[in-house]
Amino acid sequence: MAGASLGARFYRQIKKHPGLIPMIGFIGLGMGSAALYLLRLALRSPDVCWDRKNNPEPWNRLSPNDQYKFFAVSTDYKKLKKDRPDF
């Protein structure tokens, strides 16, 4: 028991308690979804600036038609007009 690897101990616990399988699956699904959402925020959000030399203010290059929100309930981004000045 003391020399058993972590995978072997995990497998034995799953064999003894099969009710843990759905819980482990849902926890894994939640962790994967959270990781993908954080990756999307890091790559697609205009608030994140990875290249300060070439594009120091990426939020100024967004047109009003760019949808950067994950889910828009009632806003149709194709019909929006520019209402701000160019800098």
pTM of the predicted model, to two decimals? Answer: 0.57
- pLDDT band for position 82 (cuts 50, 70, 90): low
DSSP string across 32-55? HHHHHHHHHHHHH-TT--S-TTT-
Report d(CA 1, CA 51) in Å as an integer: 52
The model's confidence at residue 4, banded by pLDDT at 50, 70 and 90, is confident
Higher pLDDT, 12 or 73: 12
Q: CB under 8 Å to 80, separation ≥6 — which residues? A: 64, 65
Which pLDDT tens digit goes with each residue over 15-70?
Answer: 999 999 999 999 999 999 999 999 988 887 767 777 777 776 766 677 666 666 66
Question: Roughly how many angstroms between the first and final C-alpha of the chain, as a whole number?
Answer: 68
4 φψ region: left (φ > 0), alpha (ψ -120 to 50), beta (else)? beta
Q: What is the pLDDT of residue 75?
A: 67
